[in-house]
Amino acid sequence: GQQVMQIPQYQHVQEGEDFTTYCNSSTTLSNIQWYKQRPGGHPVFLIQLVKSGEVKKQKRLTFQFGEAKKNSSLHITATQTTDVGTYFCAVTGKTSYDKVIFGPGTSLSVIP
């Protein structure tokens, strides 16, 4: 089945610094999803990317899907302590009936 890798595994940043996590696959993906899990919480859906080269923004978060649809990135501008958590990329099919397979995640710590 489809698998994705994420780098880095951990990232510690000073508050106000930028942060980027990368998600890579050896195969072409139908789509890519991103989730955030706060410490002690459950994963929360952030976004889904479908099109080659797609870029979407949510306030300080920028999501990109590679031209070959084999990689994706999540960039956070000027991190805040509220950004602390683990960010997962995930792959799924085209419908809500399809299972979602999660990458290993990147754990972000923000030093105030």
Partner 1 sequence: SAVISQKPSRDICQRGTSLTIQCQVDSQVTMMFWYRQQPGQSLTLIATANQGSEATYESGFVIDKFPISRPNLTFSTLTVSNMSPEDSSIYLCSVGRGAEQYFGPGTRLTVT
By CB under 8 A, name the binding residues for partner 1.
31, 33, 35, 41-45, 48, 88, 90, 92, 95-105
Q: How far is the CB of 78 from partner 1 (least distance, A)?
A: 26
Nearer to partner 1, 71 or 92 (CB): 92
Peptide bond into 112 cis (omega under 30): no
Nearest to 87 by CA among 22, 29, 40, 24: 22
Nearer to partner 1, 48 or 109 (CB): 48
Q: How far apart are CA 8 and CA 108, in angstroms?
A: 9
Q: How far is the CB of 23 from partner 1 (least distance, A)?
A: 12
Nearer to partner 1, 76 or 89 (CB): 89
For residue 78, give Cα distances in angstroms to 25, 48, 82, 101. Answer: 28, 22, 11, 29
